[in-house]
């Protein structure tokens, strides 16, 4: 529903009221398919994050944004700064227009061709992503009509127009959700006044509070304006489309992370299956024993004078001097002569010893790898249990079922977990944290263990993200009243707890130190009670 034209219409109106008169001072990107517009007005600033991902296209106002010092790319610099005159939407088309004094920026939601472009004087066009039909798009956007008010189609007021069961199919801008809601209401409407039903639906989008619905059976979250009587799931209302969309995207990101964890677990299962198969094969090979001595004996028996040896024989019977002169049949390679057969058996003895010793080494390595994967699986199972989630509640109290720690979301993206006491610190560090998570603790004073969930390479993380997490660790320590606090940090894999250590006590194999102010950063959202 958040991609529906009428939802975007409502969202555009709300954003226009909030940002009109601001000055656009920068446009930049630091993530794939995301462009950020930086607006400023006196001492206030706001950001609009635009996603051109065709599966999740959106624009969202944020009152803060973490711009990296490197690996960012600026756009439209030649046209900035420029004052924002209005934000509007094309009539019945999902195109958002940010009209500036010197140019206009358009956000086009068009499936795989979703893009952001800037047009100046109806002739000059610059694009965020590569564009094919530039001249055609220029002409189209120039001829479109845009509005900053909520638009209800005029045909709904044409009382002479007859009703058809598939009437809405003529108007694709209604979208799937509105069509579904219309069919539900119209089928239960005794008067069958289809235009009245449709106007009621559009007015709900225009005036009512948006909300998020958690389907506990399907474990799905959806954005809607329509309260259906048959819905028995959790509903959370929000004051604006922007606020509802923000929490919808946060929750979507968390669910995507859970899906990645499931895929990771499947990979572990596949690796484990292959390793166990390899282990069984190696064990079966070792159980047969090493035939090095046997092949040496065969070679030595052939070295003795073998009467009437002729090339081409498949086998030969001789007395086994190594076994009470009993007769023994020796297999031969017919195409080889006696000397070559002897060399074959001595080489086979060497390769047998080498293969046997290698199999021992490989078996030990395979068993270690199986144990490692079993430990990873156990760790993932713990994380899955702890991360079993509930719907996030707007702005105030949020509950994540199964997680016992204080929780924060940093920059709407990074999850931070804080221990509550010594025992809880141990649970957080030794049972919950993953190997590549970042771990924080105020130096030389007692305090909470703090874990920053991070799945990427540690070299990719920005320093200010680490500093914000360190500030939380300083705040939840005995040094919280100090102006600056040194905080140790490292990855969880370098944090060890030896046998006999008191609760909450650990050792660090290596560490770095950040000097930070003890505080809960403004970029943080608290998602649990104390």
Nearest CA to 183 out of 226, 241, 234, 237 is that of: 226
Write out the two tokens for 191: 């008067």
> How far are the Cα atoms of 8, 303, 311, 349 from residue 336, in angstroms, in the given order?
84, 15, 6, 18
How far apart are the C-alpha atoms of 38 and 35, rounded to whole Å? 10
Contacts of 365 (CB under 8 A, 6+ apart): none
Distance of CA 176 to the CA centre of its chain: 27
Decide if 443 contacts 487 (C-beta within 8 A): yes
Grouped pLDDT means (10 residues each) for the chain, 530 residues: 90 92 92 92 90 92 81 89 94 93 92 92 87 86 91 74 62 86 74 78 90 73 75 74 86 64 66 83 88 91 74 85 86 89 92 91 88 70 48 36 76 88 91 90 94 81 90 94 93 88 89 93 74
Backbone angles phi, psi at 502, to 5 degrees: -60, 160
Listed in sequence order, the DSSP H helices in 32-173 are: 134-143
- Do residues 116 and 107 lie in contact, with contact meaning Cβ atoms separated by under 8 Å? yes
What is the homologous superfamily of the domain 5-147 according to CATH?
ibrinogen binding protein from staphylococcus aureus domain (2.30.310.10)
pLDDT of residue 256: 62
The confidence score (pLDDT) of residue 158 equals 63
For residues 177-189, b (16+ Cβ closer than 10 Å) or e, as one string? bbbebbeebbeee
Give Cα 388 to chain centroid, integer Å.
Answer: 16
CA R_g for the chain: 35
DSSP secondary structure string, 183-227? HHHHHH-TT--HHHHHHHHHHHHHHSPPEEEEETTTTEEEEES--
Q: How far apart are CA 374 and CA 268, in angstroms?
A: 9
**The pair of three-digit structure tokens given for residue 266, joined into one six-digit string:** 């499947």
Give yes or no for a contact between 447 and 425, defined as CB atoms under 8 angstroms apart: no
Q: What is the pLDDT of residue 528?
A: 62
User: Could you tell me the pTM of the whole model?
Assistant: 0.56
**49, HSE (Cβ side, Cα atoms, 13 Å):** 22
- Per-domain residue ranges for the chain? 5-147, 286-373, 406-526
pLDDT at 397 (0 to 100): 38
CA dihedral for 409, 410, 413, 414, sign (positive or negative): negative
Q: Give CA separation, 222 vs 213, 215, 233, 259, in Å.
A: 5, 8, 11, 17
Q: Which pLDDT does position 260 carry in this prediction?
A: 56
CB contact at 8 A, 466 and 410: no
The encoded tokens of residue 359 equal 């199999």
């Amino acid at each position: 529903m958040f991609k529906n034209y009428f939802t975007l219409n409502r969202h555009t109106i709300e954003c226009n009221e909030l940002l009109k008169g601001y000055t656009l001072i920068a446009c930049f990107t630091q993530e794939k398919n995301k462009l950020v517009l930086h607006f400023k007005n006196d001492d206030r600033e706001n950001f609009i994050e635009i996603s051109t991902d065709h599966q999740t296209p959106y624009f969202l106002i944020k009152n803060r944004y973490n711009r990296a010092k490197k690996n960012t790319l600026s756009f439209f610099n030649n046209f900035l700064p420029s004052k924002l005159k209005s934000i509007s939407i094309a009539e019945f088309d999902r195109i958002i227009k940010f009209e500036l004094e010197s140019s206009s920026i358009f956000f086009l939601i068009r499936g795989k061709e979703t893009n952001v472009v800037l047009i100046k004087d109806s002739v000059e066009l610059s694009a965020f992503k590569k564009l094919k039909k530039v001249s055609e798009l220029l002409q189209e956007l120039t001829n479109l009509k845009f509005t900053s008010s909520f638009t209800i189609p005029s045909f709904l007021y044409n009382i002479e127009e007859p009703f058809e069961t598939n009437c809405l199919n003529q108007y694709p801008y209604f979208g799937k959700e509105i069509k579904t809601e219309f069919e539900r209401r119209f089928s239960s409407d005794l008067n069958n006044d289809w235009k009245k039903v449709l106007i009621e639906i559009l007015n709900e989008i225009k005036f009512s509070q948006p909300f998020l619905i958690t389907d506990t059976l399907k474990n799905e979250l959806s954005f809607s304006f329509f309260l259906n009587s048959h819905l028995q799931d959790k509903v959370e209302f929000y004051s604006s489309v922007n606020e509802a969309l923000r929490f919808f995207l946060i929750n979507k990101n968390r669910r995507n992370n859970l899906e990645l964890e499931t895929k990771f677990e499947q990979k572990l299962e596949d690796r484990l299956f292959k390793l166990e198969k390899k282990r069984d094969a190696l064990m079966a090979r070792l159980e047969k024993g090493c035939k090095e001595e046997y092949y040496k004996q065969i070679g030595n028996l052939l070295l003795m004078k073998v009467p009437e040896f002729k090339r081409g024989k498949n086998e030969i019977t001789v007395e086994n001097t190594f076994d009470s002169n009993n007769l023994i049949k020796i297999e031969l390679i017919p195409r080889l002569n006696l000397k070559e057969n002897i060399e074959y058996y001595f080489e086979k003895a060497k390769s047998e010893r080498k293969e046997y010793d290698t199999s021992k080494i490989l078996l030990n390595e395979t068993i270690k790898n199986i144990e490692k994967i079993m430990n990873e699986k156990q760790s993932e199972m713990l994380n899955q249990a702890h991360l079993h989630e509930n719907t996030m509640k707007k702005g105030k109290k949020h509950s994540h079922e199964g997680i016992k720690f204080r929780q924060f979301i940093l920059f709407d993206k990074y999850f931070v977990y804080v221990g509550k006491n010594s025992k809880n610190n141990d649970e957080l560090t030794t049972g919950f944290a993953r190997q590549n998570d970042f771990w924080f603790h105020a130096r030389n004073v007692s305090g909470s263990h703090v874990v920053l969930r991070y799945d990427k390479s540690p070299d990719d993380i920005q320093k200010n993200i680490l500093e914000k997490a360190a500030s939380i660790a300083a705040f939840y320590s005995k040094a919280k009243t100090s102006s600056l606090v040194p905080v140790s940090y490292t990855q969880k894999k370098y944090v060890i707890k030896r046998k006999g250590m008191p609760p909450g006590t650990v050792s660090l194999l290596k560490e770095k130190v950040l000097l930070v102010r003890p505080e809960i950063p403004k970029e943080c959202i608290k998602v649990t009670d104390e």
